[in-house]
Amino acid sequence: MSATDEELAALVIATKDRAAFGELVRRHQGVVRGMLARMTRNRALAEDLAQDAFIRAYEKIGTFRGEGGFKSWLCRIAYTEFLQARRKRQAVERTMDRFKSVKDMESEGGPGIDQGDVMDLDRALAGLSENERSCVVLCYACGMSHSEAAEATGMPLGTVKSHVNRGREKMKALLTGETVMS
């Protein structure tokens, strides 16, 4: 019989058993990588963030108390890595925008964005707010319950449910071409 996540985590906490942690990573890497890929919409960045999340999880394994599921705990770490990376990226973008504004004054115009005729899932996700996208990805793509998603994001359960419902309706409208009431 295979050990549970909680048993493997306890083994890692007690003995720093890398093989046990490797098994935890093997079990959950698909969920973590998929979640981050959908949230970032950038496969390479998602892979980097997943790697960082697993390293952080190994370093913080002693904080896992088994009260919630290991998957939720791990996704919470991955979500935190995502938020930190987003903050860093936004700071860099703000700085670059300041430098770019001077250059833009010198030369006007730029290529327009071709929206295309086909709306796929990733584009529909891109139409959601950051919180809606995170909650939809956690609940639908990662198979988490609303409670697990609330634990992973640190949001209240009702807020997660609202984001999921609003996000689902927006995606439906985007995919079917309907208008959505905000």
The whole-number pLDDT of residue 108 equals 47
Q: Which of 16-30, 63-77, 104-118 is predicted least confidently?
A: 104-118
pLDDT band at 181; cut points 50, 70, 90? low
Which residues, including other chains, have CB under 8 Å from residue 145's CB and lie 6 or more apart?
139
131 within a domain of the structure (yes/no): yes
> Tell me: the pLDDT tens digits for 25-62?
999 999 999 999 999 999 999 999 999 999 999 999 99
What average pLDDT does this structure show over 155-179? 87
pLDDT band at 21, cuts 50/70/90? very high
Q: 87-91, 109-113, 138-142: which has the minimum mean pLDDT?
A: 109-113
Q: Looking at the domain assignment, is residue 3 inside a domain?
A: yes
Shared-domain flag, residues 95 and 152? no
Claim to verify: residue 95 and residue 147 sit in the same structural domain: no
Question: What domain count does the chain have?
Answer: 2
CB-based contacts of 156, cutoff 8 Å, min separation 6: 150
What pLDDT, on a 0 to 100 scale, did the predictor assign at position 1? 62
Same domain, 67 and 127: no
- Asked whether residue 114 is assigned to any structural domain, the reply reads no
If asked whether residues 20 and 59 sit together in one domain, one would say yes
Cβ burial 34-68 (10 Å sphere, 16+ → b, else e): bbbbbbbeeeebbeebbebbbebbeeebeebeeee
Q: Which residue has the tokens 């010198």?
A: 106
| Window from 5-19, 80-94, 118-132 with minimum mean pLDDT | 118-132
Q: Which domain holds residue 148?
A: 120-177
Whether residue 88 is found in the same domain as residue 133: no
Span 137-146, average pLDDT: 85
Give the span between the Cα atoms of 128 and 174, in whole angstroms: 10
- Please give the radius of gyration of the chain, using alpha carbons only, rounded to the nearest integer: 19
Q: Which CATH number belongs to the domain containing residue 169 in this structure?
A: 1.10.10.10
- Give the Å distances, CA to CA, from 39 to 35, 81, 86: 6, 11, 10
In terms of pLDDT, which residue wins out, 100 or 49?
A: 49
Q: Which of 52, 68, 99 is the last residue of a domain?
A: 99
Mean pLDDT of 101-114: 43
Average pLDDT over all residues of the chain:
83
Pair 95, 143 in one domain: no
Same domain flag for 80 and 23: yes
Which residue type occupies 44? Answer: A
> Considering the domain boundaries, does residue 62 fall inside one?
yes
What CATH number has the domain bearing residue 94?
1.10.1740.10
pLDDT, residue 105, reads 46
Find out whether 123 and 173 touch, Cβ atoms under 8 Å: no
pLDDT at residue 98 in the model: 54
52 located within any domain: yes
Q: Using the 3D structure, point to which of 66, 99, 132 is the last residue of a domain.
A: 99
